[in-house]
Amino acid sequence: MHDYKNGKGGEPSVETVLTHAGRAPEEQFGFVNTPVFRGSTVLYNTLADLEAQKQRFLYGRAGNPTTETVESIVNELEGGHATKLVPSGLAAITIALMACVKSGDDVLITDSAYEPTRAFADQFLVPMGVSVRYYDPRIGAGLAELMQPNTRAVFAESPGSLTFEVQDLPALAKVAHDHGARLIVDNSWATPLYLKPLQLGADIVVHAATKMFVGHSDVLAGTITATEEAWPDVSRVRALLGYFSSGDDAYLVARGLRTLSIRMKEHEARALEIANWLQGQDEVVQVLHPALPDHPDHEIFKRDFTGSGSLFGIVLKPARREALAAFVDHMQIFAMGFSWGGYESLCVPSKVRRTVHPWSAEGPLLRLHIGFEGVDDLKADLAAALERYTEAR
Ligand SMILES: *Cc1c(COP(=O)(O)O)cnc(C)c1O
């Protein structure tokens, strides 16, 4: 592998890691990028080689140089023991949970988790004999009161999907470890550029690589990174379940990662500008963005994060459904759709499902992903939408 760490001594910056990690030009005729490897069968020359499993990749499902390129970039950024690329963000979440619990165990999941995380826990883990409970995302050290002798995992997502509560990860990690459980963190929003959960005590970090890593809305992928202690379980469950990500997809994830830092900076600045502007709009009751000083978790955000993402929420004044339709149906620049992280801006109404801490906002909640269109065009599109909302309300 290309050695980019020698030279100046000390740790390279994240920008240097993003541009140099995972590359091996000398192994591929000098070409800059690891090419797309497609393959199932790996060949062995002799019986001795076969018995010694002498190839670096034994069989296609074990990975290939293209998937390994992504894995080394992400692992370097997260500071993990090892990382595996998997077919989706949800696959990363389900592998991480299954790596920690078995029948008879208990898992605590934040009430603010991404909905498919809940669906997997309720509809797969529970029928497999795992007890699933939810906790208030702002519980912090109070989590200790919920821990049981059979609690093996605590799942956090910070900030939370749709509602943007920031979680006290060091406090959660301490409670989890005091009780022999692992902390799993979904770090899709901040990326390892702005939050490093393993440094804050987490054991496993998962990403919807589909979002910021890929950055162009054209690939589904996920990553799982773990500490040395947790890695054998993660690696075993991934292999047993047969998850594999193709070289074609891996190539695009690596390509996206190379520009992650400059994209994140642009997303951050644009999202903040629009979030601040929305705070002054009449129809907007609340802007849910952890980097705004009046966000309830802003202190934790400042302590643990070094930047903010592209995605935030707004709560509008209560209105008829027709007003919400008038808002979203005629937008010219923002498009409506699930997912986020691409170059294009999205605006989607969100339905919050809570079982521990009810969501109390009366008006509609919208989730905005700010892409790379002109900021003034985005503001004009939102201003027109707000005007239609006022008229129809
Ligand atoms: C989208 C998303 C996921 C799932 O990622 P997929 O690649 O779509 O499976 C997980 N967590 C969060 C926070 C997400 O936004």
Q: Is the predicted pLDDT of residue 288 greater than 90, yes or no?
A: yes
Catalytic position from the list 23, 211, 238, 263: 211
Cα of 30 vs centre of ligand 1, distance in Å, is 35
Of 266, 245, 295, 260, give the one whose Cα is nearest residue 21.
260
Q: Is the predicted pLDDT of residue 90 greater than 90, yes or no?
A: yes
Q: Give catalytic status of residue 134 as yes or no.
A: no
Which of 211, 220, 311 maximizes ligand 1 atoms within 8 Å of its Cβ, making it the mutation to test the pocket?
211
Q: Give catalytic status of residue 61 as yes or no.
A: yes
pLDDT at res. 152: 98
Condensed to tens digits (0 to 9), the pLDDT of residues 211-228 reads 999 999 999 999 999 999
Q: Give catalytic status of residue 211 as yes or no.
A: yes
The size of the chain, in residues, is 393
Catalytic position from the list 54, 56, 61, 302: 61
Give the residues surrounding ligand 1 with Cβ less than 6 Å away: 88-90, 114, 157, 161, 186, 188, 208, 210-211, 220, 222, 339
Condensed to tens digits (0 to 9), the pLDDT of residues 103-161 reads 999 999 999 999 999 999 999 999 999 999 999 999 999 999 999 999 999 999 999 98
Cα of 253 vs centre of ligand 1, distance in Å, is 15
Mean pLDDT of 181-189: 98
Cα of 189 vs centre of ligand 1, distance in Å, is 10
pLDDT at res. 359: 92
Minimum-distance ligand 1 atom for the alpha carbon of 189: 13
Condensed to tens digits (0 to 9), the pLDDT of residues 270-281 reads 999 999 999 999
Span of 196-210, 215-229, 346-360 with lowest mean pLDDT: 346-360
Mean pLDDT of 231-254: 97
Nearest protein CA to atom 6 of ligand 1, as residue: 89
CA distance 229 to 26: 33
CA distance 110 to 184: 11
H helix and E strand count, the chain = 13, 11
Per DSSP, the three-state class of 80 is: coil
pLDDT tier for residue 5 given thresholds of 50, 70 and 90 = confident
Span of 5-9, 165-169, 231-235 with lowest mean pLDDT: 5-9
Q: What percent of the chain has pLDDT over 90?
A: 96
Q: What does pLDDT average to over the chain?
A: 96
Condensed to tens digits (0 to 9), the pLDDT of residues 293-334 reads 999 999 999 999 999 999 999 999 999 999 999 999 999 999
pLDDT at res. 196: 98
Give the number of C-alpha atoms closer than 13 A to the C-alpha of residue 226, restricted to the C-beta side. 25
Q: Is the predicted pLDDT of residue 2 greater than 70, yes or no?
A: no
Full set of structural domains in the chain with CATH? 14-258 (3.40.640.10), 261-392 (3.90.1150.10)
Catalytic position from the list 105, 111, 168, 186: 186
Cα of 88 vs centre of ligand 1, distance in Å, is 7
Catalytic position from the list 84, 105, 106, 114: 114
Mean pLDDT of 333-338: 96
Condensed to tens digits (0 to 9), the pLDDT of residues 24-61 reads 999 999 999 999 999 999 999 999 999 999 999 999 99
CA distance 155 to 148: 15
CA distance 99 to 239: 11
pLDDT tier for residue 8 given thresholds of 50, 70 and 90 = low
Which of 114, 118, 165 maximizes ligand 1 atoms within 8 Å of its Cβ, making it the mutation to test the pocket?
114
pLDDT at res. 9: 67
Cα of 35 vs centre of ligand 1, distance in Å, is 26
pLDDT at res. 3: 73
pLDDT at res. 173: 98
Which of 163, 207, 210 maximizes ligand 1 atoms within 8 Å of its Cβ, making it the mutation to test the pocket?
210
The position carrying tokens 């240097």 is: 16
Which of 85, 86, 90 maximizes ligand 1 atoms within 8 Å of its Cβ, making it the mutation to test the pocket?
90
Q: Give catalytic status of residue 297 as yes or no.
A: no
Is-above-0.85 flag for pTM?
yes
pLDDT at res. 280: 97
pLDDT at res. 357: 84
pLDDT tier for residue 11 given thresholds of 50, 70 and 90 = confident
Cis peptide bond prior to 170, omega within 30° of 0: no
Minimum-distance ligand 1 atom for the alpha carbon of 210: 7
Q: Is the predicted pLDDT of residue 10 greater than 80, yes or no?
A: no
Cα of 208 vs centre of ligand 1, distance in Å, is 4
- Alpha-helical (H) ranges within the chain are 14-20, 47-51, 65-78, 89-98, 115-120, 169-178, 191-194, 231-241, 247-257, 260-279, 298-304, 321-329, 375-392
pLDDT at res. 245: 95
